[in-house]
Amino acid sequence: MIPFGAKQFKMPEQEEHRRRYFAWFYGAINFGALLSMFISPQIRGHKCLGVENCYTWAFGVPAILMVLSCSKELAYSKSSLH
């Protein structure tokens, strides 16, 4: 994901924009990791598909979100390249 974001800035004119992008990017990654530490165990704890622990959804939800995120980034990176 990082290379897609870095490509959208024209250097050296947009150095400050690139710096802010990476600050927000790393903040969002760390916030997502922190959030997943609390949400994934909650999802796993519910019954699903006839079993006590729902590992399918506990790993499936982050996987689906990552695919959506990559798709969005690829779609927008093509339109924002200089």
Per-residue pLDDT tens digits for 6-64: 777 788 888 898 889 889 888 988 998 899 889 888 888 888 878 888 888 888 888 99
Instruction: Supply the pTM of this predicted model.
Output: 0.61
Backbone dihedral region of 81: left (phi > 0), alpha (psi from -120 to 50 degrees) or beta? beta
Answer yes or no: are the C-beta atoms of 54 and 41 closer than 8 Å: no
Higher per-residue pLDDT: 1 or 60: 60
From first CA to last CA, the distance across the chain in angstroms is 18
The CA-CA-CA angle for residues 42, 36, 53, to 5°, reads 30
